Structure 1
Amino acid sequence: TPSPQPTLSPSTSQLKPPSQTTPVPPRPSVPPQSSIEEPIQEPDVPVDPYPNRTDPGVLREQKGGIVLEPRVSDKIEGGRVKMSANTLQQLGLGQGMLIAWEDPLTRAMGSARIDVGQVGDSELVMSKDTKEDTNIHAEKIVVYSTEPPIEQASEIMLEVQATPNLRGYCRVSPRIQHTLSIQNEDILSFEDELTGAIGAGKVQILEDIPDNTIVIDNEILEASGIGSFEVKVSKNQRQIMPLQSISLGISPISGENMWEIISIARQRIDQLKSFISNYIIFKGIKLRFKELNIACSILNCVPDLTGDILAKVTENTTLNLSPTGLIPFNAILIIDISRSMMARDVYVTNIAPAIEGIKAAMESREIQEFLKKFKDGINIPRRISAAFAAVLFLSEKVGRGFGEKVSVIRFADEAQVLPFGDGFYMDSASGKKGILEEAARLIVDRIGNAYGQATNMGDAMVKAQQVLFEFQNMNPDQPTMIILLTDGVPTDPNDFLEAIKMFSENPNVVIYIVGLGNPDDEMMSKAAKLCGGEYFKPEDAGELLIWYSKRARDLTVKLKAHTK
């Protein structure tokens, strides 16, 4: 039997569990309040690196300029900038003038001289140094002019500054360039208002010339006669005439050897022509080419310089060089006596003065009979007219009295040097009585009354070389004129051209050629030009005699730079 369970009292069974207490968190400690208030922290704001910046449009209005983009190029030198012609025109400026700019960010300013170039109308091209030195940071800057406004004019008064060795040029500043609307190499005319003297020259634009000055070559000033302190300057509006030929009187700047200067000019013809072509040619101009010791004056021109005509020498201009003083020169007359020279086709006219002169100088019956052949209005044989021309040439030489020597060569089947007494030439200063008349009779007999078959011109030129050699042995510095008269074509052309080539290399020789009938004009013209002479075809006996008479007194060298 299970043991009985103890009985619990009611008070025991109804006991409550002990109550649980919730812990109170500790109160945070509050620091004591300070009596000074802390500043309120503001958010960070970036500092403006360009505190003085301005609006480009406003700056443009202030400066009266334009807005351009600066661009760096390593091809631009410092102190210069490049812009387009359109932009330059918009600013009213020109090549070489000053321009300024301002950066709207940094407000830094700069300036430089302008070059016109192939750049965009919105660009200003400069060197890296220029951009850095003028503190340009903005993508666009304001560009403006620092020059007074240009007032265009047709003429302007400028002070004269004379300068040597400008080779025919005058110089003005860029401002004057744009005032007169001129470019490099244009022609400026200048006038002395006190005397009326005028001059002209090609212009160079230089930035270092003062704006109130024109710098003029000394040679131009002296030639024009301008002596005033100021001149009236204008752009030349007249046509500059290209010269067909120009005759120059030549003399040495220092020294007295006249022919030496002519010889130097012949050998340096390209250099001489280049020097003269720098100058605008006007009436009375005189030039001094110091490098060659040559002083030259304008004797005449084709076309002429009547009035205030301005002209220029071109590559096609023939230069005729004549000594300004008398120069003794020897002569070799070469005369064709081939059968064709018997043709009776030389018309007699305008020869009365020559006839009377020879009659007065020579009384021999042979000469008097010879002169009767020349009657106005008839045709005479070519060989007769050639003989008369040779006689007249000798007469003129004797009249000069300079002791010049003349040798005569005739040629047909062969070439022969005519004998004068015991020698091969006539001495024009010989005191021997009747020397001229004796020479004239010889020419009439051996040329006027003789003929052959062939035209061995080359053989005649070889004989002329032998005579020239003897002349130069007697007087090395004295020049020799050779005159060839022919009516045909050389039957020995190679020998002829070879002789011409040798003569062309001798600066003391000038060759003239006279053509009657139908010679090879092209060959004869080329041969004469190569040797400083000319090829002449007379219309009648009068022209032939006048030409020979002038040649006896005048040694002129005709030169073309492009003939050699």
Structure 2
Amino acid sequence: MVEKIIDISVINVGEIDGRAYMNKRDMERIGVDDFDIIQLINEFEDSCAVQVLENDEVEVESIAVDNGILDSANISDGDRVKVRKAHLKREPITRVKFGIEPLEGQPVEECISYILENFDEMTSVIRNRPIYRNLQVDWPDAGCGHVKISFLESTPEMEGDEVGIIDPSGKEIEVQLVPASEMSFNAVLVLDVSGSMSKEDMVVKGTGTAVEGLRRGLKGGRDLENLLNEFDEKKVSRIKGAALATLLFLSQKVSRGWGEQLSIISFAGDVDVFEVDYGTGSPTPVIACTGKAKSAGLEIIAEYISKRCSKGGGLTFMSGALQQAYEMTSKFEPNSITGKINPTMIVLLTDGQPNKGNGLGINPVPIARKCGRDYPNTVLYTIGLGEADNRLLKRLSEIGRGEFYEANDLGELTKFYDLLARRFMIALKTEASELVEEIPDDIFDEPEEIDETDEVELALEEEYGGAGDDIAEEIAEMDALEENDDEEYDDD
């Protein structure tokens, strides 16, 4: 049976008991009746599910929706959305876990205790609401203060775009309340664009849906389209894989729109900070995850990343990139919702070893340690591709209270980016630990910018005297032949 989908305009009608209203004609077009569940999907693949009722006062090709439902999916009045009958979970749900996030600085434990003691209040807030993977409910007048309720998990597990129906009173299922694993946070993405990142060894799998979502949601130029077309192949370069993961992360962050901000830094032999001008005439490195960023910023960001990736080359100035990332956190404004500065996640993605210091020192460990002390409201995650120095990256993440991840294929890389937000809140509560394997801070304090070929020639010079240069050339020729043989083998 062919799924029926219509494209209609959204009307925000304020609080209407968590429901939506449609004209009878439009309901018949997608095959739904009163009290059925429908899904709304915007151009950025943000989605929500809602119970629908017939109301012929709503114009044809329009849908009137409760404002809380729209806010949770970052869908706005006047947006065009695709509407279809929801894909309901077949098995009955026996357990559901909700995350509670205080928005006025209240202790989360006190909020959870209050809600458990006054559970009928929460029941009234989430009644009529189906549950789905990105469900979030704003509760501004909770007795414990303004909180947000997020769906975290269920038994059986919700998969893909499935929608479930529950008894919110908790009489028929088990309801668990825990601190929300997702929270408002800023992010600084640090992307290695050095020459080694052009190596085409990232296996493409499990990314088809993500690529198509970006293609529909980001109406960029030729550079972006060319980048997305690369993922039809079996393998792509590391830098293009990193670009895709970065764009997916950005699209999720911008779609959340909870007073969050982010910045993008790329580095090779130098450090470049992305800046955007929202029509004010004053470019800024701070990207606000709200209105203008949603409508235009993502396309600009996508173009920047794709162009920067196409020019990858040079050395690896990791120390400078890390220092710039930490310093960037001081440029973020207080959260417009909470009035406080959000904590910041720094994500460093690289495939190599640092080999340029430019006055800071080649070794990034002292920089990470000092900046971690100077900017305590940050967590550093590191991602290694290819021949990255995983021992170094692991050490950096330990100093920064984050995690290290080694990505072997593109599917794993994008999945880790998706998990980052869930692990971030836990990391913030830990103190920087020194109970880790000791790695000398001076492991990279060798002379700057020594080429690998020069090191070979110096060693041969000591062993064979003046014949060292000739032997080094012969070794280089043999290496080139071996690489050609490998390429021919791969072609076969």
**TM-score in terms of structure 2 length:** 0.47
Q: Which has the larger radius of gyration?
A: 1
